[in-house]
């Protein structure tokens, strides 16, 4: 019995592709010859290579964030404090930079992520602050372009630098 050749990028047998189901929020696999789709990869798949591919080329990500709004951001209102925002963008960037530094100074990964969640609850201006900044799993096209770009560029476990969106300034932690 001869071994099937594998796609060097995806680890799938040649003639198979991976796609994403928005309704089920997960990957599925299509045999291009038969046009049949399956939830599980074919048996011959190099699973480690497939996992690497999906981490580097995600269809969806799970992210948490901390948002600091400023008076020029869209809807300058804090969900956390129920107050109108009067801070300048420069001050928002400065504050978020200090918060990020506090997080990144922690060497232990579990403690670092706990600090991120604590700051999200206490300081983030987003309604997700009640959920420790958790935005859940989202696919491409679900978030503002600048936010999506950063979220999808991160690898699982990475925390972004500060960046801007129409909503304000953020740092993002890609959970998965």
Distance CA 120, CA 143 (A): 18
70, 151, 165, 170: the catalytic one is: 170
Catalytic residue status for 65: yes
81, 102, 144, 153: the catalytic one is: 144
Distance CA 69, CA 161 (A): 16
65, 78, 160, 165: the catalytic one is: 65
Contact yes or no for 87/69 (Cβ under 8 A): yes
Distance CA 151, CA 176 (A): 10
Catalytic residue status for 170: yes
Listed in sequence order, the residues at least 6 apart from 87 whose beta carbon sits closer than 8 Å to its beta carbon are 68, 69, 70, 71, 95
Catalytic residue status for 79: no
Catalytic residue status for 8: no
124, 128, 129, 167: the catalytic one is: 167
124, 126, 129, 165: the catalytic one is: 126
Enzyme catalytic residues:
65, 126, 144, 167, 170
């Amino acid at each position: 019995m001869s071994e099937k050749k594998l796609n060097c990028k995806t680890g799938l047998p040649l003639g198979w592709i991976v796609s994403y189901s928005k309704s089920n929020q997960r990957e599925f696999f299509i045999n291009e010859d038969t046009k049949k789709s399956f939830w599980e990869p074919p048996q011959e798949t190099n699973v480690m290579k497939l996992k690497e591919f999906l981490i580097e080329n995600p269809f969806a990500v799970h992210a948490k964030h901390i948002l600091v709004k400023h008076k020029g951001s869209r809807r300058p209102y804090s969900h956390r404090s129920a107050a109108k925002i009067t801070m300048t963008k420069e001050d928002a960037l400065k504050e978020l930079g200090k918060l990020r530094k506090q997080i990144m100074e922690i060497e232990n990964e579990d403690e670092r992520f706990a600090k991120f969640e604590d700051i999200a609850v206490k300081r983030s201006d987003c309604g997700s602050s009640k959920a420790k900044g958790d935005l859940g799993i989202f696919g491409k096209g679900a978030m503002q372009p600048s936010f999506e770009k950063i979220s999808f560029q991160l690898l699982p476990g990475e925390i972004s630098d500060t960046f801007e969106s129409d909503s304000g300034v953020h740092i993002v932690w890609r959970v998965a």
